[in-house]
C-alpha cells in the first residue's frame, strides 16, 4: 500500500499490463494544494518536494482555489520581499542551530574524556 496515494499494487501488475498512471486520493490532492495556498510557496517547489508534476499540482491548486469561499490573494511585492527575507533568516537560524548542536556535542565528549582521563586507576 502506497501511503502517499492510498493505492495498493500487486508486484507484477505493472510489468504485465504496462505502466499505469498514478492516481491520488482527493485528500492527498487537497493537502498538496493547501501546501501551496497556505504557505505561499511556489507550485514548482511543492511539486519537487512531493514528487508530482508541476502541471498536475497546478491543476489541483486551481481546483482547490475555485472550491474555496474566499481564496487568499496573491502576495504583493512587500509581502513577497518579507517572505524571502524570513526564509533567508530561517535558513540562517537552521545553520546556527546545527552548528550549536555540534558544538554542544563536542563539549560534552570533551568534558567526558577529560573527566575520565583525569581519574587514576
Report the C-alpha gap between 46 and 39 in whole angstroms: 10
Q: What is the pLDDT of residue 71?
A: 64
Q: Which residues contact 12 (CB under 8 A, 6 or more apart)?
A: none
pLDDT of residue 51: 93
pLDDT in the model for residue 12: 47
Residue 58: what pLDDT? 94
**Residue 36 and residue 61 in contact, taking contact as beta carbons nearer than 8 Å:** yes
Question: Residue 77 CA to chain centroid, in angstroms?
Answer: 24
Per-residue pLDDT of the chain (121 residues; tens, 9 = 90+): 455 555 555 444 455 556 778 889 999 999 999 999 888 889 999 999 999 999 999 999 999 988 887 766 677 888 888 988 998 999 999 999 999 999 999 999 988 887 776 655 4
Q: Give all strands (DSSP E) within 1-121, no chain letters.
A: none
The neighbour count for residue 105, using CB atoms within 10 Å, is: 10
Q: What is the pTM of this model?
A: 0.47
Decide if 3 contacts 28 (C-beta within 8 A): no
pLDDT at 1: 45
Cβ within 8 Å of residue 54, ≥6 positions away: 43, 44, 47
Amino acid at each position: 500500500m502506497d501511503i502517499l496515494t492510498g493505492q495498493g499494487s500487486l508486484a507484477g501488475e505493472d510489468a504485465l499490463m504496462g505502466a499505469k498512471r498514478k492516481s491520488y486520493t482527493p485528500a492527498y490532492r487537497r493537502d498538496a494544494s493547501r501546501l501551496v495556498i497556505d504557505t505561499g510557496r511556489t507550485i514548482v517547489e511543492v511539486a519537487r518536494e512531493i514528487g508530482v508534476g508541476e502541471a498536475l499540482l497546478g491543476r489541483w491548486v486551481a481546483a482547490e482555489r475555485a472550491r474555496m469561499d474566499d481564496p487568499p490573494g496573491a502576495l504583493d511585492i512587500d509581502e513577497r520581499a518579507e517572505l524571502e527575507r524570513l526564509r533567508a533568516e530561517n535558513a540562517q537560524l537552521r545553520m546556527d542551530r546545527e552548528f550549536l548542536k555540534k558544538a554542544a556535542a563536542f563539549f560534552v565528549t570533551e568534558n567526558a574524556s577529560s573527566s575520565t582521563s583525569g581519574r587514576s586507576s
